[in-house]
Chain A
């Protein structure tokens, strides 16, 4: 009960922050529309998918990351700067409930951003959904939200002010988004080191575990550990992503501070 009430509380706060709503929910949709209009909604060369079919899930993932990583880290750090976290710590509310409420709230926000892009893609740009792949898509989305929330809390724990959190989240998400099949559709002859970097970090695994569920040229339901290039293989990607998330959460739990910087 308290958990749900606090989640709702965090959602109310989000909806009253127009800049946050714009960057997390509207921005992915706007970028989707820009890409589809810029490249034209045609088949991507050497594939059987349209521009919209690729970009809708990719930018849905971007929205989820903006909510669960960027917004979670910045809003939590801002609350800490304001002394709100310290004040909450002086009440009988259990700290775990408060933190989980924040994570649940950003997960709900992520789902709003994802649904918005996917529904617009489906209604206006013919983005197809494949029922046999849908369960794995939803599992990937959910685990992706939790993993990136773990990383968001880690950034908030390691950095002591909202200013540094803002810098670190932007500096990590934006470059990776270009390398991780989010902003730029995949193309041949990518330098090896780029692939290596992208494969190390969790964003590409999130975008492909979710994105490949919307590919007609990939077979299967995703519940496999290995397969050919024409198979939807999600489990190893989820494993890498979760490993990042768990490491982030452990560091966060160890280092997180409730007091504003400079006090104590």
Chain B
């Protein structure tokens, strides 16, 4: 049995489709990420799976149950972290966790969870005095206290500073290593690349691409960028005509986009060696997932210009 199975899910708000025929499955022990811009249907999908919203069509199974039916039995088995913070500012950290603990049939201990989310030091601190990252970790703790097998994390790091984001990342990785199945949503590519086994790119409520980060690169990033700096110089006559045809130039850079970089680089460096023509700042860039994501969501290839160089 798959922890999550979604088949042709549909949901509209006032006639406007938010999720339009979405299908995917999440395997046990996997971290699965829904990635997409705002309004792509991530939260709608997650909240249908959590039992908050009713679907218009399709079938959905969460831990073998239909979350659209009265889900009190299901709610004991899942952990939820909502997109926006939902904490009572007057309580202390330990009181907050202890309160949620009382809702569940077989919960973890309060101290155990505080340890895990690294908030033991703030046990008796009022929630309103916590930083944004600490509040988010507390909410993840509340998602964990019931000892669920399946955890939903809806944009767990949105609005946090880079340090707090990294803390949440290591927490999510730790949860996964404990065997929890995680459904994550995010609009940060680096985040899903660091955390997820598989990624689903959502655009306008539809699955645009799905797979491991590597598979997405192979399927959707089928070119590599090679560039070197020419400056004020011009290319000599001897530059191979076959390579010349795929050039474009930009602010002194000579840029090639090639499907298979190995033979291309062999030709290029071979020529450069023979002609004693230097190729300063030669670099070879694999398209980052970010570009693939931007290409998929915008439907064009312009994002390649922002490529980050990797070692040649």
- Residues of A at the B interface (CB closer than 8 Å) are 2, 5, 9, 12-13, 16-17, 79, 82-84, 86-87, 89-94, 259-260, 264
* Contact across chains for B52 and A91 when beta carbons are under 8 A apart: no
Complexed CA–CA distance, A82 and B84 (Å): 9
* Contact across chains for B52 and A264 when beta carbons are under 8 A apart: yes
Near A by CB (< 8 A), chain B positions 237-295 give none
- 5 closest Cβ pairs, A-B complex: A83-B86, A87-B86, A16-B90, A92-B76, A90-B80
Near A by CB (< 8 A), chain B positions 102-119 give 102-105
> B85, B86, B90 — which one has the most chain A CB atoms within 10 A of its CB?
B86
Q: Is B146 an interface residue (CB 8 A)?
A: yes
Which residues on the B side are within 8 Å of A16 (C-beta)? 90-91
* Contact across chains for A92 and B103 when beta carbons are under 8 A apart: yes
* Contact across chains for B53 and A91 when beta carbons are under 8 A apart: no
* Contact across chains for B52 and A5 when beta carbons are under 8 A apart: no
Question: From residue B21, how far is it (CB to closest CB) to chain A in Å?
Answer: 21
Near A by CB (< 8 A), chain B positions 75-92 give 75-76, 80, 82, 84-91
Q: Is B100 an interface residue (CB 8 A)?
A: yes
* Contact across chains for B52 and A82 when beta carbons are under 8 A apart: no
Given contacts A90-B75, A90-B80, contact A84 B87 (CB under 8 A): yes
* Contact across chains for B88 and A82 when beta carbons are under 8 A apart: yes
Partner of B91, one of A12, A92, A93: A12
Partner of A83, one of B84, B100, B102: B84
Given contacts A90-B80, A91-B75, A264-B53, contact A2 B102 (CB under 8 A): yes
Q: Is B95 an interface residue (CB 8 A)?
A: yes
* Contact across chains for A90 and B88 when beta carbons are under 8 A apart: no
Complexed CA–CA distance, A98 and B210 (Å): 41
Which residues on the B side are within 8 Å of A90 (C-beta)? 50-52, 75, 80, 82
Q: Is B234 an interface residue (CB 8 A)?
A: no
Q: Is B25 an interface residue (CB 8 A)?
A: no
Question: From residue B50, how far is it (CB to closest CB) to chain A in Å?
Answer: 6
Question: From residue A138, how far is it (CB to closest CB) to chain B in Å?
Answer: 31
Residue of B nearest to A93 (CB): B103
* Contact across chains for B80 and A13 when beta carbons are under 8 A apart: no
Which residues on the B side are within 8 Å of A87 (C-beta)? 80, 82, 86, 142
Complexed CA–CA distance, A5 and B75 (Å): 20
Residue of A nearest to B43 (CB): A263
Q: Is B12 an interface residue (CB 8 A)?
A: no
Partner of A13, one of B47, B86, B88: B88
Residue of A nearest to B139 (CB): A87
Which residues on the B side are within 8 Å of A9 (C-beta)? 99
**Apart from the given pairs A16-B90, A90-B50, A264-B53, 16 other A-B contacts in the complex at a CB distance below 8 Å:** A2-B102, A9-B99, A12-B95, A16-B91, A83-B82, A87-B80, A87-B86, A90-B75, A90-B82, A91-B80, A91-B100, A91-B146, A92-B73, A92-B75, A92-B104, A264-B47
Which residues on the B side are within 8 Å of A259 (C-beta)? 52
Residue of B nearest to A95 (CB): B72
Question: From residue B137, how far is it (CB to closest CB) to chain A in Å?
Answer: 15
Partner of B104, one of A12, A84, A89, A91: A91
> A16, A79, A259 — which one has the most chain B CB atoms within 10 A of its CB?
A16
Residue of B nearest to A91 (CB): B103
Which residues on the B side are within 8 Å of A91 (C-beta)? 75, 80, 100, 103-104, 146
Complexed CA–CA distance, A264 and B84 (Å): 14
Residue of B nearest to A79 (CB): B88
Question: From residue B290, how far is it (CB to closest CB) to chain A in Å?
Answer: 29
